[in-house]
A = this chain, B = another copy of it.
Amino acid sequence: MSNEVIGTQTLRKLEKSSTATIANMLLKKGFKNVYMLGLNPLSEKQPKMVGPAFTLRFMPSREDIDTMVNYSLTTNLHRRAIEECPVGHVLVIDAMGSLKASSAGDMMSERLKAKGAAGIVTDGGFRDTPAIKEVGLPAYQKQSAPPATVIALHPIEINGPIGCAGVPVYPDDIIVGDSEGVVVIPRQYVDEIATAAYEATLYEDYAQQRIKDGESIFGIFPSTEKSLQEYSAWKRNNTPS
């Protein structure tokens, strides 16, 4: 699924690159803190996730403000975040790392899926995780957190800059998730990073084949001038049709 923020070519390259490789390309540009450490995919089977960030920020709840009645109002930012998340975007939630209450449940995931969202990420946890797995929307969390949201979390801002699992996330930064975890690409660098990551992925496929064939990692990994030349020759002879 493409969208206005990322071009189709870039999207395709990111879909073919692992989060670990993308993080390496960001490191070469000086970004060390881009990986959401400690978050896991809800299901091993969920598809890869790529999309611009749409954010939701929680603060701690308070007994007189976070009542069930208030939660039901149409002004509630938690549900508004679900309804307003644009097609192809990833809803990224700053839950302050809290596992005391859920960042979202199956109804919200179902709705995001129906609206064409690309995924959902929290540095806290979800409730109804067995049902969310069935929904099929890519979802990342620290650990399940089934208690009702109002017990500990109050939604305070939609689509502002946030921290998620210790990583800065600005709206429309590109979020990529695979079965290992989630990485954040500052939006202005996405084309450059996607191209570099895709190239590195091709080289790694080549290098892995040679290592499988019994060669030492010295001279192949990390790449050397010589290995890159050999790779170029190999690539000419092994173009994917």
Contact = CB atoms under 8 A, between A and B. Distances in A.
A240 interface: no
Interface string A8-30: 00000000001110011001101
Interface string A155-177: 01100111100111000000000
A204 B107 contact: yes
Interface string A115-146: 00000000000011111000000000001111
B18 A128 contact: yes
Nearest to A220: B107
A59 interface: yes
A154 B128 contact: no
Interface string A35-64: 101101000000000000000000111111
Interface residues of A, number: 83
Interface of A: 18-20, 23-24, 27-28, 30-35, 37-38, 40, 59-65, 68, 71-72, 74, 79, 82-83, 96, 99-100, 102, 105-108, 110-111, 114, 127-131, 143-148, 151, 154, 156-157, 160-163, 166-168, 178-181, 183, 186, 204, 207-208, 211-214, 216-218, 220-222, 224
Contact of A147 (B32, B38, B156): B32
A217 B83 contact: yes
Contacts of A83: 216-218
A161 B59 contact: yes
A163 B68 contact: no
